[in-house]
Chain A
């Protein structure tokens, strides 16, 4: 793909970690900066509430990535409602679309920021599809 610099990695991220200022993500590592440093794009999960249609739309997008050579991970916020990922609703939607559930990493907003940031950075850096899958799709 000439001139195209996409990173081929996508993270599902709770609203509370994208907009942490006054929510339960306050005190968590700067997830946006860490994702940018690792070259991840992100899909934002909505705040708590019943967002059935929006979650279905997001699941459609995740399925498209998962079926075409993109690495998908999820970054949850421990102790937030549903870990901020709406997992009880999202997981069945993904299974219904034939998607293996992405690996999840959980952040604790009440833990020391630096170790939490290092753990997240290591998780993000360490995950990608196997080489044969990358070779198949990313040409």
Chain B
């Protein structure tokens, strides 16, 4: 086992270490919309529909760090995938991944069922879709909607998954809340998330050790 953390203290904090849990790894801004780039916050704080759906289905929540906030700040410009696809930003994302991966590894080693909810359309946290515009750069005066949504992971999700793979951990089933897709459809996003969770319910129950596969 590769870990930077003290072994599980679940017993010390009162949890039953033998009982597997369902744990949702959440993009930072789904619990804290203050992390969003300017004009991107659709909720005051918590993205309530996401949390409501997950809690109703018995998931515990594990927030991921926000890579953009800690790199470019709260007053950063909008950006697309190509602008964050740099060695320095990837190194930053790897540092964040190394910070959170020990916790994720603990969950997986104890047989918890993990899922990942990212932010579709995000250059960093996109899961199914990210944003693209190879021509962006220089003076930040691009017209509205001058970028494209393309299939693929954001930079942060790529680096997080790579770190988990380096530790010999299996892929975590993932989807994205479609907050950064240009036009946000909350009802459609909620339905989409419910379908994803239905699919997880039909898969292996919590308690299997996925690291043993």
Contact = CB atoms under 8 A, between A and B. Distances in A.
B158 interface: no
Interface string B93-127: 00110111011000000000000000000000000
B44 interface: yes
B188 interface: no
Contacts of B33: 5-7, 41
A25 B164 CA distance: 29
B15 interface: yes
Contact of A22 (B5, B9, B14): B14
A24 B41 contact: no
Given A44-B63, A50-B5, 17 more contacts: A3-B39, A4-B39, A4-B40, A6-B33, A6-B34, A16-B13, A22-B19, A41-B32, A44-B61, A47-B13, A48-B13, A52-B4, A61-B65, A64-B73, A65-B34, A70-B34, A81-B9
Interface of B: 4-10, 12-16, 19, 28, 31-36, 38-46, 48, 51, 55, 60-63, 65-66, 69-70, 73-75, 95-96, 98-100, 102-103
Interface of A: 1-10, 15-16, 18-19, 21-24, 26, 32, 35-36, 38-44, 46-54, 56-58, 60-61, 64-65, 68, 70, 80-81
